[in-house]
């Protein structure tokens, strides 16, 4: 397993070893020791799986009282994935890290607690799976506006046109308006 730091060192990209032949492939997608070996003591409590069509943008979501760390990957299709540091005490507050995740590149993205997360589907369909360090709490979910100019996220909209958003994502708040972590 190759583990790479991103522009925000707490956000990591995992590139698994893939063993393939004419029958298909095999790879490990999670091993607790990967985190223990780099000094992170994490417990995952929930797995999620979503499917979305081309142009669907989900996010940017976070939980404030029960922040979730997320280990995310794509098992079908391709997405543009985004993590935004919302930890006021961080030297990277308001900074963004992006990664293209696909069934082909098999990259796995680690987004620690304290970040907003979202993704844009670039393929006709994408299936997205992720492990969470805290349970989903709908009463604690918050949404950061996906196109807030303060974030300057370079969404690849040229590939999909206008994104398809949920009502809550259309009504999300800007970085200046959202409740934040300490």
Flag whether 84 is in a domain: yes
Section 118-129 average pLDDT: 97
pLDDT > 70? residue 182: no
Flag whether 182 is in a domain: no
Q: How many helices (H) and strands (E) does the chain have?
A: 2, 13
Question: CA Rg, the chain, in Å?
Answer: 16
**Domain around 116:** 2-170
Flag whether 178 is in a domain: no
Flag whether 77 is in a domain: yes
Flag whether 41 is in a domain: yes
* Percentage with pLDDT > 90 across the chain: 80
Task: For residue 35, give the CATH number of its domain.
Answer: 2.60.120.10
DSSP bridge pairs for 164: 56
- Please report where in the chains the tokens 């070893």 appear, as a residue: 17
Flag whether 175 is in a domain: no
Catalytically active residues are 61, 130
β-pairing verdict for 70-76 and 108-111: antiparallel
Flag whether 114 is in a domain: yes
> Distance between terminal CA atoms of the chain?
33
């Amino acid at each position: 397993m190759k583990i790479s730091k991103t522009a925000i060192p707490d956000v990591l990209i995992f590139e698994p070893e893939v063993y393939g032949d004419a029958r298909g492939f095999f790879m490990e997608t999670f091993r607790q020791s990967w985190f223990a070996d780099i000094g992170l003591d994490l417990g995952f409590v929930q797995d999620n799986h979503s499917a979305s069509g081309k142009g669907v943008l989900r996010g940017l979501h976070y939980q404030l009282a029960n922040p979730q760390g997320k280990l995310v990957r794509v098992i079908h299709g391709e997405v543009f994935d985004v993590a935004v540091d919302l930890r006021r005490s961080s030297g990277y507050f308001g900074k963004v890290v992006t990664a293209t995740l696909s069934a082909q590149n098999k990259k796995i993205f680690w987004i620690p607690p304290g970040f907003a997360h979202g993704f844009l589907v670039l393929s006709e369909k994408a299936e997205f799976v992720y492990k969470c360090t805290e349970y989903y709490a709908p009463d604690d979910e918050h949404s950061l506006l996906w196109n807030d100019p303060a974030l300057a996220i370079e969404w690849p909209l040229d590939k999909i046109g206008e994104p398809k958003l949920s009502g809550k994502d259309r009504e999300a708040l800007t970085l200046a308006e959202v409740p934040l972590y300490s």
